[in-house]
Amino acid sequence: MTGDDLNEQLRRASEAQQKFSDYLMGLPHVLGVAVGYTEQGGHKLAEIGLIVLVDEKLPEAQLTPEHRVPRELDGVRVDVQVMGSLTAL
C-alpha cells in the first residue's frame, strides 16, 4: 500500500466516523467508534476502516436488523471488535 492509498483510506474512514458516530453509538453494546486497521480472524489487515468497539459480540441472529452494525458505511469497511466493559476506579 502506498502512502497515497493510506492517506485516502484514513480520509474516507475519518469522514465516515464523523458522519456515522452518533448512529453507531446508539446501537446496543457499542462503547466507542474509532478509525484504525481492521481485523479478520484476529489478524490485522492492511485496510483502514471504522472500528466499532463493543462490550460483547453477539451472533447476528440475536440482534434485530436495526440493531446490527453494518459491514460497510459509505464504502468504508466497518469492523466490530470486543473491548469488554468499562468501569471507573
Distance of CA 3 to CAs 6, 13, 29, Å? Answer: 5, 15, 34
Q: Are 36 and 51 in contact (CB under 8 A)?
A: yes
pLDDT band with cut points at 50, 70 and 90 for residue 88: confident
SS (H, E, C) 41-84: CCEEEEEEEEEEEECCCCCHHHCCHHHCCCCEECCEEEEEEECC
Fold observed for domain 3-82:
GMP Synthetase; Chain A, domain 3 (3.30.300)
Q: Which three cell numbers stand for residue 33?
A: 467508534
Where in the chain are the domains?
3-82
- pLDDT tens digits for range 24-51: 999 999 999 999 999 988 889 889 999 9
Q: Which three cell numbers stand for residue 74?
A: 459509505
